[in-house]
Amino acid sequence: MTGHVITRLRVEAELPEGRELTLALVTDLHNGPWEDVENELRRSDAILLVGDLVNRHRKGYELSRRFLEEAPKLAPVFYSIGNHERKFRDMDVFWPLIHGSDAVLLDNRYVSFHGFWLGGLSSRVPRGDVDAGVVERMAREKGFHLLMCHHPEYYPRYVKGHGIELTVSGHAHGGQVCICGRGLYAPGQGLFPKLTSGFYDQGHLLVSRGMTNSSWAPRLWDPLELILLTLVPRKTQ
């Protein structure tokens, strides 16, 4: 399966600078190709790399390295950590590539970007737990909060109800095989997952289908996806 469907979405947000911002959500690239969406990335105000840039199931990271080199030349890149980064066999080499790139690593931390707060809740460390303190710390900041969290299944336990207006995720691969709009399986959720694609919880959680298929299982009726999310200044009454 090659080529990416472009999904364009709009969300109202408190943006003090008063202009629209378009964010490209790059999830689950898994050392795969991305050149077909390069122009879309270039036209974005920022690229949100929401985990799994590498593929832990295969050797090599050439396309991932190239993304870290080339994408920041197109737009500012913010990178949060997924499960493939945590378990990647060459991560001792890849970590220095991340830190040496122009991407902003949001490994359980947050920054201010164009007047709103942008953070990353990282995948749990092997045999460890989720460091969810960043959620409460970020939520205490006044303004609009956007959290990158690779795992949608983290949302109900660690994010929901903590004052984060929007969380963006991937990891579910759209449910892998879609029948009648329903996915059959997602890592972290098992059979008939509930959080696979689109908005949930009244728009507070957005899940991307992801940009490649890293699984041994086939991916059917489930297009590869780049989401272009436009934040629109909320109209005052």
Q: CB atoms < 10 A from the CB of 131, how many?
A: 14
Average pLDDT, the chain: 94
Which of 94, 114, 42 shows the shortest CA–CA distance to 73? 42
Residue type, 115: G
pLDDT at 1: 47
Q: Work out the average pLDDT over 45-60.
A: 94
Residues 6+ apart with CB under 8 A from 170: 25, 27, 28, 50, 51, 52, 82, 150, 152, 207, 208, 209, 210
pLDDT band at 141 (very low <50, low <70, confident <90, very high): very high
Residues in the chain: 237
pLDDT band at 3 (very low <50, low <70, confident <90, very high): confident
* pLDDT exceeds 80 at position 235: no
pLDDT band at 236 (very low <50, low <70, confident <90, very high): low
Query: How much helix, strand and coil, in percent to the nearest 5, is found in the chain?
Result: 25, 30, 45
**Reduced to 3 states, what is the DSSP secondary structure of residue 150?**
coil
pLDDT at 215: 66
pLDDT at 182: 87
Residue type, 154: Y
Domains of the chain by start residue, with CATH: 5-233 (3.60.21)
Looking at residue 153, the DSSP 8-state letter turns out to be G
Looking at residue 16, the DSSP 8-state letter turns out to be T
**Reduced to 3 states, what is the DSSP secondary structure of residue 167?**
strand
pLDDT band at 181 (very low <50, low <70, confident <90, very high): confident
Q: 53 and 86 in contact (C-beta within 8 Å)?
A: no
Q: Residues of the chain with pLDDT > 70: what percent?
A: 97
* pLDDT exceeds 60 at position 65: yes
The tokens for 95 are 């970590």
CA distance 52 to 54: 5
CA 200-202-208 angle, to 5 degrees, is: 30
Tens-digit pLDDT profile for residues 193-229: 999 999 999 999 999 999 997 767 788 889 999 999 9
CA distance 117 to 194: 27
> What's the half-sphere exposure (Cβ side, CA atoms, 13 Å) at 122?
21
Q: CB atoms < 10 A from the CB of 12, how many?
A: 13
Q: 228 and 9 in contact (C-beta within 8 Å)?
A: yes
Write out the E strands in 14-161.
Answer: 21-26, 46-50, 77-80, 104-105, 109-113, 116-121, 145-149
pLDDT band at 8 (very low <50, low <70, confident <90, very high): very high
* pTM of the model as a whole: 0.95
CA distance 196 to 192: 10
Tens-digit pLDDT profile for residues 110-134: 999 999 999 999 999 888 899 999 9
